[in-house]
Amino acid sequence: MDIVIKIPDIGIEKAEVIDILVHVNDIVEKEQSLLVIEGDKASMEIPSTHHGKVKEIKVKVTDIVHQDSIIIILETIDDPLPELNDTPNHTKVIDTHDVIIHASPLVRRLARASNIDLRNINGRGRKNRILKDDLDNYLENNLNNNNLSKKYDHVYNFDFSRFGEVEEIQLSKIKKRSGSLLCLNWSTIPHVTQFDEVDITDLEAFRIKYNDRITVKEKKITLLAFIVKSITKGLEKFPYLNSTISHNQEVIFLKKYINIGIAVDTIHGLLVPVIKDVKNKNLSDIACEIYHISKYARLGKLKFSDLQGGCFTISSLGSIGGTAFSPIINAAEAAILGVSKFSYKPIWNGSEFIPRLILPIALSYDHRIIDGAEGAKFISYINTLLSDVRLLLV
């Protein structure tokens, strides 16, 4: 007999499926979590109402569900009769694929973004619940203890004090976490980096003229605000750069929203706060938000939600210097833009060399999702938008 599992009354009109916790043919217990949904303010796990075998999964990640939406079809199964030589307490042996994993939606999302199977992690919480610290420790140890690292242990585990004085400094928690993620991102995502130079002479002239009229510092428009606006238009025109590839690399999730992460250098390490819903914000709004999130990041006042939901990241080193660099993609995003320091260069106009303000940019993208032609078209489109500021205002 088939059992239909539906979304119960969860007190909200609709929610998005953000994770599916079972597979077809899995044996599930009553009250075992089947999937995770997320509304405007919270995430929650939907439990099974019965014991049975998963016959069919009626939803997929990103689907919108509501009360009474059918999510799972279970097939009833009979528990096998105990063998005669069973011990009185009839201890049940469960296959590792059927182990109930206790973890919050946040931990599940982070694990999915880092391509980590939670069954490999021993949780230290109540009922072996996997905590965020458990995930962080697993990620750090997994990266530090892989075969390649062990092969070069003799290089790092060396007494450098033999040659002179050495000071030992512990990495901050943020640097340890970001370092592990960068290593994972670099080793699991096939990067291609495309370089270009943008003539921003007219843009800068317009920006300076506009800002001369603005007295409030946080409302002055920065070059970064123009870049965010150009990326927003670029993602609308080239949607594959606003996507995520599935864990099994068989499906691409195209996002209909645009949230832009801005890499901010702080005394504790690199943070990437996210500007939400940028396609519905003008240049002034974007500039104001960049000002505030950068300030809060350096003061250590960001909320965790400020770091979530990014679709694309911008890493700007323009205020520091350098002519070019290859930025590392933030999983599970598809691309990242690196911005270097602008400078004047002599440009030939057909009859003479004239000084023009040139901005170097670099686009790194996931080659599993984006091919070279699309990457080149995207960065060329960004170049066009920044070279003619009027195109950003329409």
Catalytic site positions = 367
Tokens 């004090």 label which residue?
Answer: 161
Q: Count Cβ atoms below 10 Å from residue 326 Cβ, excluding itself.
A: 13
Nearest to 122 by CA among 132, 130, 114: 130
Q: DSSP for 63-117, please give it.
A: -EE-TT-EEEEEE--PPPPPPTT--TT-PPP--GGGPPP-B-HHHHHHHHHTT--
**Chain Cα centroid distance, residue 133:** 18
Q: Which DSSP helix (H) or strand (E) runs through 294?
A: helix 283-299
DSSP state of 330: -
Q: DSSP for 221-257, please give it.
A: PPHHHHHHHHHHHHHHHSGGGGEEE-TTSS-EEE-SS
Question: Could you tell me the sign of the dihedral formed by the alpha carbons of 122, 126, 131, 133, in that order?
Answer: negative
Distance, in Å, from the CA atom of 132 to the CA atom of 382, rounded to the nearest integer, reads 37
The CA–CA distances, whole Å, from 214 to 220, 226, 260, 289, 290 equal 6, 17, 25, 16, 16
Alpha carbon distance, N-terminus to C-terminus of the chain: 59
Query: Can you state the percent helix, strand and coil of the chain, rounding each to 5?
Result: 35, 25, 40
* Residue 48 token pair: 């099974």
State which amino acid sits at residue 186: W
Rg from Cα positions in the chain? 25
What are the backbone angles phi and psi of residue 325, rounded to the nearest 5°? -160, 160
Is residue 313 within 8 A of residue 307, CB to CB? The reply is: no
Is residue 303 within 8 A of residue 271, CB to CB? The reply is: no
CA angle, 333 then 200 then 379, to 5°: 30
Tokens 């007999």 label which residue?
Answer: 1
